[in-house]
Amino acid sequence: MNKRALSLSVLALSLASFCGPALANSAPPPAIPETQVAQTPQFVVYFPLDEATLDSTAQATIATAVQEYQRTGQARLSVRGHTDTSGNAAYNQALSELRERAVTDELVRQGVPAGAISGEAVGEADLAVPTGDGVPEAENRRVVIAVQQPPAPAPEPMATPEPAPEVAAAPEPEAETQVKRGLISVGPFYGYSIEDEDGDDSHLAGLNISLDYAVLPWLGVGLEQAGFYHFSSPDDGLGGRTAGSLNFGAGDENFAGWLGGNIGYLYGDGLDDDAFAGPEIGFSAGALSAKVAYDIPFNRGLDEGIIATTIGFGFREV
């Protein structure tokens, strides 16, 4: 091989060794999948020097941010207020808070729920255009609205086979509530005799014991025994009244009213002892009972009866 051919070979090898790494390094980097790029739309609202009011341009920018929020559905809005370096730091902090509040209020006014907005004011920190102190810069006087997307939902876990349904035990029958139908009571007795055996009116006062029992919700029976003193009569003295009743009404053990009739026997000093019958009306409320009866002795006329009243206090039994 002559010297010229050798020189060309060395030159070719040198070029190959020099260009090979360069050509290898010039290949484009692999593309980053689009799904890995953070998507956080931002909208910047600018303010005049030393102001925190919104002009028409600012309101239009906020309206665009509202549309983006409504399009994304469950996004949240981050509102961050800034100033330039003109003025001192404390004043700029307060001014950035006013700007952030003005934008937040306008977002709410245009339909964004207040709970979906998080606000922050940083004053002259985090400048968009770095400047020295005391420099007015329009791009630093701003509020940045960021539409933050919610994190992607976690994949649903694989469904596990449902366990075999358990056979429910038959419910135990509820115990029936025992209704107390009987009422035993004791209380004062008063009677007014329209006309006694001497043709005068008189009075009877004493104590009465009664037992009332609800045979059916609408039908009841009763038994009474009264002992009294007969006075305002030519022949004052002790006496008694024994009566049974049949009543028709409605209610329960808490309250009931009835209308019925009774029959019995009236005896004592100053009385022409005889059987009687007549109507009765009454009511009961818990352990309290009250009755008014018109007893017509068989030896008197209808207008010569005795008005008998009782009030009883007692207790209920089955």
pLDDT category of residue 21 using cuts at 50, 70 and 90: very low
Quote the CA–CA distance of 312 and 287 in Å, as a whole number: 8
Same domain, 109 and 232: no
Same domain, 289 and 198: yes
Cβ neighbours for 298, distance < 8 A, ≥ 6 positions apart: 274, 275, 276, 277
The CATH number for 74's domain is 3.30.1330.60
Question: Structurally, how many domains does the chain consist of?
Answer: 2
Cβ atoms 218, 183 nearer than 8 A: no
First to last CA, the chain: 136
Same domain, 189 and 307: yes
Same domain, 44 and 126: yes
Same domain, 85 and 209: no
Cβ atoms 75, 150 nearer than 8 A: yes
Same domain, 107 and 215: no
Phi-psi group of 115: left, alpha or beta (phi > 0 → left; psi -120 to 50 → alpha; rest → beta): alpha
pLDDT category of residue 159 using cuts at 50, 70 and 90: low
Closest CA to 58 of 47, 68, 49: 47
pLDDT category of residue 139 using cuts at 50, 70 and 90: very high
Is the predicted pLDDT of residue 103 greater than 50, yes or no?
yes
Same domain, 189 and 236: yes
Same domain, 144 and 188: no
CA of 270: how far to CAs of 111, 160, 202, 308, 314, in Å?
A: 94, 95, 9, 16, 31
Same domain, 215 and 298: yes
Cβ atoms 131, 85 nearer than 8 A: yes
Q: What is the pLDDT of residue 38?
A: 42
Average pLDDT over residues 263-288: 86
Q: Show the domain range for 104.
A: 38-148
Name the domain boundary from 103, 125, 148. Answer: 148
- pTM exceeds 0.85 for this model: no
Strand pairing class (76-81; 117-121): parallel
Name the domain boundary from 148, 167, 195. Answer: 148
Average pLDDT over residues 61-84: 91
Cβ neighbours for 258, distance < 8 A, ≥ 6 positions apart: 220, 247, 248, 249, 250, 281, 282, 283
The CATH number for 201's domain is 2.40.160.20
203-244 confidence digits (pLDDT tens): 889 999 988 888 887 888 889 999 999 888 778 889 899 999
Share of the chain above pLDDT 70, in %: 79
Q: What is the pLDDT of residue 151?
A: 64
Same domain, 70 and 190: no
Asked if the structure places residue 232 within a domain, the reply is: yes
- For residue 226, count CB atoms less than 10 angstroms from its CB and return exposed for 0-12, middle for 13-18, buried for 19 or more: buried
